Amino acid sequence: DERYVCHPFLPATAAEMIVPILVDERVFGVITIESDVRGVFAQSDLDLVTAMAHLIGVTIANLQHDAELQRAREQLIERDRLRALGELSSGVAHDFNNLLASILGHVQLLLNEYHDPRLQEGLWAIELAAIDGAATIKRLQGFAQTSQSTPQGAVDLNQVVEESLALTRPRWHDEVQSRGIVIEVRTDLKALPIITGDAPALRELIINLVLNAIDALPNGGTITIRTTPAPPEVFGAAGVLLIIQDNGVGIDPALHERIFAPFFSTKGVHGTGMGLAIVRGIVQQHGGRITLESEPGKGTMFQIWLPVGQPPELPTSSSQPSPMMPLHILVVDDETAVRQVLTRILERQGHRVVEATSGEEALAQYRPGRYAIICTDLGMPGMSGWELASQVRQIDTTVRIVLVTGWSEQVDPADMQRYGVNAILAKPFTIQSVQNLIASLVDAAEQV
Protein backbone atom coordinates (compact mmCIF):
# COMPACT_ATOMS: atom_id res chain seq x y z
CA ASP A 1 0.00 0.00 0.00
CA GLU A 2 1.66 3.23 -1.15
CA ARG A 3 0.01 5.16 1.67
CA TYR A 4 1.73 2.92 4.22
CA VAL A 5 5.14 3.01 2.50
CA CYS A 6 5.08 6.83 2.65
CA HIS A 7 4.15 6.91 6.36
CA PRO A 8 6.48 9.41 8.15
CA PHE A 9 7.02 7.12 11.17
CA LEU A 10 8.10 4.09 9.10
CA PRO A 11 11.88 4.79 9.04
CA ALA A 12 12.02 4.92 12.86
CA THR A 13 10.06 1.70 13.34
CA ALA A 14 12.02 -1.08 15.10
CA ALA A 15 9.06 -3.34 15.94
CA GLU A 16 5.63 -3.59 14.38
CA MET A 17 2.47 -5.62 14.93
CA ILE A 18 0.00 -5.92 12.03
CA VAL A 19 -3.37 -7.64 12.52
CA PRO A 20 -6.02 -7.86 9.74
CA ILE A 21 -9.64 -6.85 10.35
CA LEU A 22 -11.81 -9.46 8.63
CA VAL A 23 -15.40 -8.75 7.57
CA ASP A 24 -17.22 -11.77 6.13
CA GLU A 25 -13.83 -13.48 5.66
CA ARG A 26 -12.49 -10.58 3.58
CA VAL A 27 -9.80 -8.13 4.67
CA PHE A 28 -11.56 -4.87 5.46
CA GLY A 29 -8.53 -3.14 7.01
CA VAL A 30 -5.62 -3.65 9.38
CA ILE A 31 -4.55 -2.58 12.85
CA THR A 32 -0.89 -1.57 12.96
CA ILE A 33 1.00 -0.83 16.17
CA GLU A 34 4.58 0.39 15.84
CA SER A 35 7.44 0.95 18.28
CA ASP A 36 10.98 2.26 18.01
CA VAL A 37 12.08 -0.41 20.54
CA ARG A 38 13.03 -3.79 19.09
CA GLY A 39 11.29 -6.87 20.56
CA VAL A 40 8.83 -4.87 22.66
CA PHE A 41 5.72 -6.87 21.62
CA ALA A 42 4.84 -10.18 23.31
CA GLN A 43 2.43 -12.95 22.28
CA SER A 44 -0.10 -11.63 24.79
CA ASP A 45 -0.06 -8.28 22.99
CA LEU A 46 -0.73 -10.02 19.69
CA ASP A 47 -3.60 -12.03 21.25
CA LEU A 48 -5.16 -8.84 22.63
CA VAL A 49 -4.96 -6.95 19.33
CA THR A 50 -6.25 -10.02 17.43
CA ALA A 51 -9.28 -10.16 19.74
CA MET A 52 -9.80 -6.44 19.24
CA ALA A 53 -9.60 -6.81 15.44
CA HIS A 54 -12.14 -9.64 15.60
CA LEU A 55 -14.59 -7.49 17.60
CA ILE A 56 -14.15 -4.60 15.19
CA GLY A 57 -14.75 -6.93 12.23
CA VAL A 58 -17.91 -8.37 13.79
CA THR A 59 -19.19 -4.86 14.57
CA ILE A 60 -18.57 -3.64 11.00
CA ALA A 61 -20.20 -6.77 9.55
CA ASN A 62 -23.27 -6.26 11.75
CA LEU A 63 -23.52 -2.62 10.71
CA GLN A 64 -23.26 -3.57 7.03
CA HIS A 65 -25.85 -6.32 7.40
CA ASP A 66 -28.20 -3.94 9.23
CA ALA A 67 -27.80 -1.38 6.43
CA GLU A 68 -28.54 -4.04 3.80
CA LEU A 69 -31.61 -5.18 5.72
CA GLN A 70 -32.82 -1.59 6.00
CA ARG A 71 -32.40 -1.07 2.25
CA ALA A 72 -34.26 -4.31 1.58
CA ARG A 73 -37.07 -3.25 3.94
CA GLU A 74 -37.36 0.14 2.24
CA GLN A 75 -37.50 -1.53 -1.19
CA LEU A 76 -40.23 -3.90 0.03
CA ILE A 77 -42.21 -1.02 1.52
CA GLU A 78 -41.98 0.97 -1.71
CA ARG A 79 -42.88 -2.09 -3.79
CA ASP A 80 -45.90 -2.72 -1.55
CA ARG A 81 -46.93 0.92 -1.87
CA LEU A 82 -46.72 0.77 -5.65
CA ARG A 83 -48.57 -2.54 -5.74
CA ALA A 84 -51.29 -1.07 -3.51
CA LEU A 85 -51.53 1.87 -5.89
CA GLY A 86 -51.85 -0.51 -8.83
CA GLU A 87 -54.61 -2.46 -7.12
CA LEU A 88 -56.38 0.77 -6.19
CA SER A 89 -56.09 2.10 -9.73
CA SER A 90 -57.55 -1.10 -11.16
CA GLY A 91 -60.79 -0.29 -9.35
CA VAL A 92 -61.19 3.05 -11.11
CA ALA A 93 -59.39 2.34 -14.41
CA HIS A 94 -62.48 0.89 -16.11
CA ASP A 95 -64.70 3.87 -15.24
CA PHE A 96 -61.99 6.43 -15.96
CA ASN A 97 -61.16 4.90 -19.35
CA ASN A 98 -64.86 4.96 -20.24
CA LEU A 99 -64.96 8.70 -19.46
CA LEU A 100 -61.82 9.31 -21.51
CA ALA A 101 -63.16 7.25 -24.42
CA SER A 102 -66.29 9.40 -24.56
CA ILE A 103 -64.35 12.67 -24.24
CA LEU A 104 -61.69 11.74 -26.78
CA GLY A 105 -64.14 10.35 -29.33
CA HIS A 106 -66.45 13.36 -29.22
CA VAL A 107 -63.55 15.84 -29.32
CA GLN A 108 -62.09 14.19 -32.41
CA LEU A 109 -65.49 14.17 -34.10
CA LEU A 110 -65.81 17.89 -33.34
CA LEU A 111 -62.31 18.56 -34.70
CA ASN A 112 -63.41 16.96 -37.98
CA GLU A 113 -66.63 18.99 -38.11
CA TYR A 114 -65.51 22.49 -37.03
CA HIS A 115 -62.53 24.32 -38.50
CA ASP A 116 -62.52 27.61 -36.59
CA PRO A 117 -58.88 28.06 -35.44
CA ARG A 118 -59.76 29.31 -31.93
CA LEU A 119 -62.24 26.49 -31.40
CA GLN A 120 -59.77 23.93 -32.72
CA GLU A 121 -57.07 25.20 -30.35
CA GLY A 122 -59.31 24.51 -27.36
CA LEU A 123 -60.41 21.14 -28.73
CA TRP A 124 -56.78 20.19 -29.38
CA ALA A 125 -55.92 20.92 -25.73
CA ILE A 126 -58.81 18.71 -24.56
CA GLU A 127 -57.74 15.95 -26.97
CA LEU A 128 -54.13 16.07 -25.75
CA ALA A 129 -55.22 16.05 -22.10
CA ALA A 130 -57.44 13.00 -22.72
CA ILE A 131 -54.60 11.15 -24.48
CA ASP A 132 -52.23 11.95 -21.61
CA GLY A 133 -54.89 10.91 -19.09
CA ALA A 134 -55.12 7.53 -20.77
CA ALA A 135 -51.33 7.15 -20.63
CA THR A 136 -51.40 8.05 -16.92
CA ILE A 137 -53.97 5.35 -16.21
CA LYS A 138 -51.81 2.80 -18.03
CA ARG A 139 -48.80 3.75 -15.90
CA LEU A 140 -50.84 3.53 -12.70
CA GLN A 141 -52.05 0.10 -13.78
CA GLY A 142 -48.43 -0.84 -14.41
CA PHE A 143 -47.58 -0.25 -10.74
CA ALA A 144 -49.36 -3.53 -9.97
CA GLN A 145 -46.85 -5.41 -12.13
CA THR A 146 -43.24 -6.26 -11.37
CA SER A 147 -41.93 -4.85 -14.63
CA GLN A 148 -43.03 -2.02 -16.83
CA SER A 149 -42.23 -1.16 -20.43
CA THR A 150 -42.20 2.27 -21.95
CA PRO A 151 -43.65 2.84 -25.43
CA GLN A 152 -40.80 3.94 -27.69
CA GLY A 153 -41.10 6.63 -30.32
CA ALA A 154 -39.24 9.64 -31.68
CA VAL A 155 -39.72 12.57 -29.27
CA ASP A 156 -38.88 16.25 -29.71
CA LEU A 157 -38.36 17.25 -26.06
CA ASN A 158 -38.65 20.98 -26.80
CA GLN A 159 -42.03 20.40 -28.42
CA VAL A 160 -43.12 18.40 -25.37
CA VAL A 161 -42.09 21.34 -23.15
CA GLU A 162 -44.13 23.78 -25.25
CA GLU A 163 -47.17 21.48 -25.18
CA SER A 164 -46.88 21.04 -21.41
CA LEU A 165 -46.74 24.80 -20.85
CA ALA A 166 -49.81 25.28 -23.06
CA LEU A 167 -51.73 22.69 -21.03
CA THR A 168 -50.70 24.24 -17.69
CA ARG A 169 -51.15 27.89 -18.76
CA PRO A 170 -54.55 28.21 -17.02
CA ARG A 171 -52.80 27.38 -13.70
CA TRP A 172 -49.68 29.55 -13.95
CA HIS A 173 -51.29 32.46 -15.81
CA ASP A 174 -55.08 32.81 -15.69
CA GLU A 175 -55.81 31.38 -12.24
CA VAL A 176 -52.99 33.13 -10.35
CA GLN A 177 -53.65 36.47 -12.06
CA SER A 178 -57.28 36.27 -10.92
CA ARG A 179 -55.85 36.25 -7.36
CA GLY A 180 -53.57 39.23 -8.03
CA ILE A 181 -50.43 37.07 -8.26
CA VAL A 182 -47.92 37.05 -11.10
CA ILE A 183 -45.91 33.97 -12.05
CA GLU A 184 -43.46 34.48 -14.89
CA VAL A 185 -42.51 31.42 -16.94
CA ARG A 186 -39.21 31.66 -18.77
CA THR A 187 -37.88 29.16 -21.29
CA ASP A 188 -34.41 28.63 -22.69
CA LEU A 189 -34.72 25.75 -25.13
CA LYS A 190 -31.55 24.87 -27.01
CA ALA A 191 -31.53 22.79 -30.20
CA LEU A 192 -31.72 19.12 -29.18
CA PRO A 193 -31.33 15.75 -30.85
CA ILE A 194 -34.49 13.68 -31.13
CA ILE A 195 -34.74 11.25 -28.21
CA THR A 196 -36.50 7.90 -27.98
CA GLY A 197 -39.30 7.71 -25.44
CA ASP A 198 -42.94 8.14 -24.53
CA ALA A 199 -44.21 11.65 -25.31
CA PRO A 200 -47.36 11.49 -23.08
CA ALA A 201 -45.24 10.27 -20.16
CA LEU A 202 -42.72 13.06 -20.63
CA ARG A 203 -45.55 15.61 -20.84
CA GLU A 204 -46.88 14.27 -17.55
CA LEU A 205 -43.42 14.55 -16.01
CA ILE A 206 -43.09 18.22 -17.01
CA ILE A 207 -46.67 19.05 -16.01
CA ASN A 208 -46.13 17.54 -12.55
CA LEU A 209 -42.95 19.54 -11.99
CA VAL A 210 -44.53 22.77 -13.27
CA LEU A 211 -47.56 22.30 -10.99
CA ASN A 212 -45.21 21.67 -8.06
CA ALA A 213 -43.35 24.87 -8.91
CA ILE A 214 -46.64 26.81 -9.00
CA ASP A 215 -47.53 25.48 -5.54
CA ALA A 216 -44.10 26.62 -4.31
CA LEU A 217 -44.85 30.22 -5.40
CA PRO A 218 -47.84 31.26 -3.23
CA ASN A 219 -46.87 34.94 -3.62
CA GLY A 220 -45.70 34.74 -7.21
CA GLY A 221 -42.25 34.37 -8.70
CA THR A 222 -40.44 32.82 -11.62
CA ILE A 223 -40.39 29.35 -13.17
CA THR A 224 -37.51 28.70 -15.55
CA ILE A 225 -37.38 25.73 -17.93
CA ARG A 226 -34.16 25.01 -19.79
CA THR A 227 -33.12 22.28 -22.20
CA THR A 228 -29.64 21.64 -23.52
CA PRO A 229 -27.57 18.79 -24.96
CA ALA A 230 -25.80 16.96 -22.13
CA PRO A 231 -22.01 16.55 -22.30
CA PRO A 232 -21.37 12.80 -22.76
CA GLU A 233 -18.07 13.02 -20.86
CA VAL A 234 -20.01 14.04 -17.74
CA PHE A 235 -22.95 11.62 -18.00
CA GLY A 236 -21.19 8.72 -19.70
CA ALA A 237 -23.47 8.69 -22.76
CA ALA A 238 -25.15 11.02 -25.23
CA GLY A 239 -28.23 12.65 -23.77
CA VAL A 240 -30.23 15.80 -23.11
CA LEU A 241 -30.81 17.84 -19.99
CA LEU A 242 -34.17 19.20 -18.82
CA ILE A 243 -33.97 21.69 -15.95
CA ILE A 244 -37.06 23.04 -14.18
CA GLN A 245 -36.34 25.67 -11.55
CA ASP A 246 -38.36 28.01 -9.35
CA ASN A 247 -37.46 30.70 -6.80
CA GLY A 248 -40.15 29.62 -4.35
CA VAL A 249 -40.29 28.36 -0.79
CA GLY A 250 -37.84 25.48 -1.30
CA ILE A 251 -37.66 22.05 0.34
CA ASP A 252 -36.01 21.13 3.63
CA PRO A 253 -32.81 19.11 2.90
CA ALA A 254 -33.97 16.56 5.48
CA LEU A 255 -36.86 15.69 3.14
CA HIS A 256 -34.82 15.27 -0.06
CA GLU A 257 -34.45 11.51 0.34
CA ARG A 258 -38.19 11.01 0.96
CA ILE A 259 -39.56 13.45 -1.57
CA PHE A 260 -39.81 10.83 -4.35
CA ALA A 261 -41.47 8.16 -2.19
CA PRO A 262 -45.06 7.21 -3.12
CA PHE A 263 -47.73 8.82 -0.91
CA PHE A 264 -45.23 11.23 0.71
CA SER A 265 -46.29 14.85 0.38
CA THR A 266 -45.13 18.18 1.78
CA LYS A 267 -48.54 19.73 0.95
CA GLY A 268 -50.58 18.15 3.74
CA VAL A 269 -54.18 17.38 2.83
CA HIS A 270 -53.76 19.22 -0.47
CA GLY A 271 -51.25 16.69 -1.86
CA THR A 272 -51.55 13.05 -2.89
CA GLY A 273 -47.85 12.27 -2.61
CA MET A 274 -47.82 10.68 -6.07
CA GLY A 275 -46.57 13.48 -8.36
CA LEU A 276 -42.83 13.11 -7.76
CA ALA A 277 -43.07 9.33 -7.40
CA ILE A 278 -44.56 9.22 -10.90
CA VAL A 279 -41.91 11.67 -12.15
CA ARG A 280 -39.10 9.46 -10.86
CA GLY A 281 -40.79 6.37 -12.33
CA ILE A 282 -41.02 8.00 -15.76
CA VAL A 283 -37.35 9.04 -15.62
CA GLN A 284 -36.29 5.52 -14.65
CA GLN A 285 -38.41 3.93 -17.39
CA HIS A 286 -36.57 6.13 -19.89
CA GLY A 287 -33.18 5.09 -18.51
CA GLY A 288 -32.55 8.59 -17.20
CA ARG A 289 -31.51 10.25 -13.95
CA ILE A 290 -33.08 12.95 -11.80
CA THR A 291 -31.44 15.16 -9.19
CA LEU A 292 -32.89 17.69 -6.77
CA GLU A 293 -31.30 20.86 -5.42
CA SER A 294 -33.33 22.90 -2.95
CA GLU A 295 -33.08 24.95 0.22
CA PRO A 296 -35.83 26.64 2.22
CA GLY A 297 -36.35 30.17 0.94
CA LYS A 298 -34.03 29.69 -2.05
CA GLY A 299 -36.21 27.74 -4.46
CA THR A 300 -35.96 24.32 -6.06
CA MET A 301 -34.26 22.92 -9.14
CA PHE A 302 -34.91 19.54 -10.74
CA GLN A 303 -32.33 18.38 -13.28
CA ILE A 304 -33.29 15.45 -15.51
CA TRP A 305 -30.92 13.65 -17.85
CA LEU A 306 -32.43 11.54 -20.62
CA PRO A 307 -30.39 9.36 -22.97
CA VAL A 308 -30.49 9.76 -26.72
CA GLY A 309 -31.51 6.33 -27.98
CA GLN A 310 -31.70 4.87 -31.45
CA PRO A 311 -34.86 6.33 -33.02
CA PRO A 312 -37.36 3.77 -34.34
CA GLU A 313 -37.54 3.30 -38.09
CA LEU A 314 -40.33 5.25 -39.69
CA PRO A 315 -42.79 3.30 -41.84
CA THR A 316 -42.09 3.66 -45.53
CA SER A 317 -45.70 3.37 -46.62
CA SER A 318 -48.68 5.48 -45.61
CA SER A 319 -50.61 4.26 -42.58
CA GLN A 320 -53.87 5.70 -43.93
CA PRO A 321 -56.24 2.76 -44.59
CA SER A 322 -57.76 2.42 -48.04
CA PRO A 323 -61.50 3.06 -48.43
CA MET A 324 -63.57 -0.04 -47.70
CA MET A 325 -67.07 -1.33 -48.29
CA PRO A 326 -69.61 -0.47 -45.55
CA LEU A 327 -69.93 -3.21 -42.94
CA HIS A 328 -72.72 -4.28 -40.58
CA ILE A 329 -71.30 -3.94 -37.05
CA LEU A 330 -72.75 -4.76 -33.62
CA VAL A 331 -71.54 -2.55 -30.73
CA VAL A 332 -72.11 -3.93 -27.22
CA ASP A 333 -71.45 -1.81 -24.11
CA ASP A 334 -73.42 -1.07 -20.96
CA GLU A 335 -71.94 2.46 -20.83
CA THR A 336 -74.16 4.68 -22.97
CA ALA A 337 -71.53 7.37 -23.62
CA VAL A 338 -68.90 4.89 -24.83
CA ARG A 339 -71.38 2.92 -26.92
CA GLN A 340 -72.72 6.04 -28.60
CA VAL A 341 -69.34 7.58 -29.42
CA LEU A 342 -68.04 4.32 -30.92
CA THR A 343 -71.25 4.09 -32.95
CA ARG A 344 -70.82 7.66 -34.22
CA ILE A 345 -67.20 7.01 -35.22
CA LEU A 346 -68.14 3.85 -37.12
CA GLU A 347 -71.11 5.53 -38.81
CA ARG A 348 -68.90 8.46 -39.88
CA GLN A 349 -66.71 5.85 -41.58
CA GLY A 350 -69.75 4.61 -43.54
CA HIS A 351 -70.66 1.49 -41.56
CA ARG A 352 -74.15 0.38 -40.47
CA VAL A 353 -74.23 -0.04 -36.69
CA VAL A 354 -76.63 -1.74 -34.27
CA GLU A 355 -76.25 -1.14 -30.52
CA ALA A 356 -76.82 -3.50 -27.59
CA THR A 357 -76.59 -2.54 -23.91
CA SER A 358 -75.59 -5.97 -22.57
CA GLY A 359 -74.22 -9.33 -23.59
CA GLU A 360 -77.62 -10.91 -23.03
CA GLU A 361 -79.33 -8.38 -25.33
CA ALA A 362 -76.71 -8.88 -28.02
CA LEU A 363 -77.00 -12.66 -27.87
CA ALA A 364 -80.82 -12.61 -27.94
CA GLN A 365 -80.97 -10.78 -31.28
CA TYR A 366 -77.85 -12.32 -32.83
CA ARG A 367 -78.15 -14.41 -36.02
CA PRO A 368 -75.24 -16.06 -37.86
CA GLY A 369 -74.11 -14.05 -40.87
CA ARG A 370 -75.95 -10.89 -39.78
CA TYR A 371 -72.84 -8.96 -38.70
CA ALA A 372 -69.32 -8.73 -40.08
CA ILE A 373 -67.86 -7.46 -36.78
CA ILE A 374 -68.85 -7.40 -33.10
CA CYS A 375 -67.26 -4.79 -30.83
CA THR A 376 -67.96 -5.73 -27.22
CA ASP A 377 -66.87 -4.23 -23.93
CA LEU A 378 -64.91 -6.60 -21.68
CA GLY A 379 -66.28 -5.71 -18.25
CA MET A 380 -70.09 -5.60 -18.24
CA PRO A 381 -72.65 -6.54 -15.57
CA GLY A 382 -74.00 -10.04 -16.07
CA MET A 383 -72.43 -11.53 -19.19
CA SER A 384 -68.84 -10.38 -19.74
CA GLY A 385 -67.24 -9.75 -23.10
CA TRP A 386 -65.37 -13.06 -22.84
CA GLU A 387 -68.62 -14.96 -22.26
CA LEU A 388 -70.38 -13.20 -25.13
CA ALA A 389 -67.49 -13.95 -27.49
CA SER A 390 -67.47 -17.61 -26.49
CA GLN A 391 -71.22 -18.06 -27.05
CA VAL A 392 -71.25 -16.15 -30.35
CA ARG A 393 -68.30 -18.19 -31.60
CA GLN A 394 -70.28 -21.40 -31.01
CA ILE A 395 -72.92 -20.34 -33.55
CA ASP A 396 -70.87 -18.20 -35.95
CA THR A 397 -67.29 -18.99 -36.93
CA THR A 398 -66.87 -16.18 -39.47
CA VAL A 399 -67.78 -13.03 -37.52
CA ARG A 400 -64.81 -10.94 -36.37
CA ILE A 401 -64.96 -10.28 -32.61
CA VAL A 402 -63.27 -7.22 -31.07
CA LEU A 403 -62.82 -6.87 -27.31
CA VAL A 404 -62.95 -3.22 -26.19
CA THR A 405 -61.08 -2.69 -22.92
CA GLY A 406 -58.92 -0.33 -20.90
CA TRP A 407 -56.74 -3.30 -19.89
CA SER A 408 -55.49 -4.10 -23.39
CA GLU A 409 -51.89 -4.70 -22.31
CA GLN A 410 -52.97 -7.26 -19.70
CA VAL A 411 -55.10 -9.39 -22.05
CA ASP A 412 -53.55 -12.84 -22.50
CA PRO A 413 -53.30 -13.92 -26.18
CA ALA A 414 -54.10 -17.46 -25.02
CA ASP A 415 -57.44 -16.21 -23.66
CA MET A 416 -58.15 -14.48 -26.97
CA GLN A 417 -57.62 -17.74 -28.82
CA ARG A 418 -59.65 -19.76 -26.31
CA TYR A 419 -62.68 -17.45 -26.49
CA GLY A 420 -62.44 -16.75 -30.23
CA VAL A 421 -61.53 -13.05 -29.98
CA ASN A 422 -59.83 -11.65 -33.09
CA ALA A 423 -58.57 -8.27 -31.87
CA ILE A 424 -58.37 -5.79 -29.00
CA LEU A 425 -59.47 -2.14 -29.18
CA ALA A 426 -57.83 -0.22 -26.35
CA LYS A 427 -59.79 2.41 -24.43
CA PRO A 428 -59.78 5.28 -24.87
CA PHE A 429 -59.85 4.77 -28.62
CA THR A 430 -59.36 7.36 -31.34
CA ILE A 431 -60.97 7.76 -34.75
CA GLN A 432 -57.72 6.59 -36.32
CA SER A 433 -57.30 3.55 -34.06
CA VAL A 434 -60.87 2.42 -34.82
CA GLN A 435 -60.36 2.91 -38.55
CA ASN A 436 -57.03 1.05 -38.52
CA LEU A 437 -58.51 -1.84 -36.55
CA ILE A 438 -61.50 -2.30 -38.86
CA ALA A 439 -59.20 -2.18 -41.89
CA SER A 440 -56.89 -4.82 -40.39
CA LEU A 441 -59.85 -7.12 -39.67
CA VAL A 442 -61.11 -6.75 -43.23
CA ASP A 443 -57.63 -7.47 -44.63
CA ALA A 444 -57.30 -10.55 -42.41
CA ALA A 445 -60.73 -11.82 -43.48
CA GLU A 446 -59.87 -11.40 -47.17
CA GLN A 447 -56.68 -13.43 -46.74
CA VAL A 448 -58.49 -16.41 -45.20
Question: Could you give all domains of the chain from N- to C-terminal order, each with its CATH number?
Answer: 2-73 (3.30.450.40), 156-307 (3.30.565.10), 328-447 (3.40.50.2300)
**pLDDT of 243:** 97
- pLDDT beyond 70 at 446: no
Considering only 50-59, 109-118, 231-240, 317-326, which range has the smallest mean pLDDT? 317-326
**pLDDT of 95:** 72
Over residues 385-416, the pLDDT tens digits come to 999 999 999 999 999 999 998 777 678 888 89
How would residue 150 be classed by pLDDT, with cut points 50, 70 and 90?
low
Read off the amino acid at residue 168: T
Within 13 Å of residue 295, how many CA atoms lie on the same side as its CB? 1
**pLDDT of 420:** 92
**pLDDT of 90:** 60
- pLDDT beyond 80 at 79: no
How much is the average pLDDT of 85-98? 66
How would residue 174 be classed by pLDDT, with cut points 50, 70 and 90?
confident
**pLDDT of 87:** 58
Considering only 91-95, 97-101, 178-182, which range has the smallest mean pLDDT? 91-95
**pLDDT of 9:** 55
Determine if residue 330 is left, alpha or beta; phi over 0 gives left, psi from -120 to 50 gives alpha, anything else beta: beta
**pLDDT of 448:** 47
How much is the average pLDDT of 269-292? 76
- pLDDT beyond 70 at 332: yes
How would residue 135 be classed by pLDDT, with cut points 50, 70 and 90?
confident
Over residues 410-443, the pLDDT tens digits come to 788 888 999 999 999 988 888 999 999 999 888 7
Query: Average per-residue pLDDT in the chain?
Result: 82
**pLDDT of 98:** 80
Considering only 137-146, 187-196, 355-364, which range has the smallest mean pLDDT? 137-146
351 against 259, higher pLDDT = 351
- pLDDT beyond 50 at 382: yes
210 against 138, higher pLDDT = 210
- pLDDT beyond 60 at 122: yes
**pLDDT of 428:** 86
- pLDDT beyond 70 at 123: yes
What share of the chain in percent tops pLDDT 90? 34
257 against 289, higher pLDDT = 289
Inter-helix orientation angle 117-142/199-215, to 10°: 100
**pLDDT of 273:** 42
**pLDDT of 81:** 64
Over residues 224-280, the pLDDT tens digits come to 999 999 988 888 888 999 999 999 998 888 777 777 765 455 554 444 445 687 888
**pLDDT of 147:** 45
pTM of the model: 0.53
- pLDDT beyond 80 at 57: yes
**pLDDT of 388:** 94
**pLDDT of 26:** 87
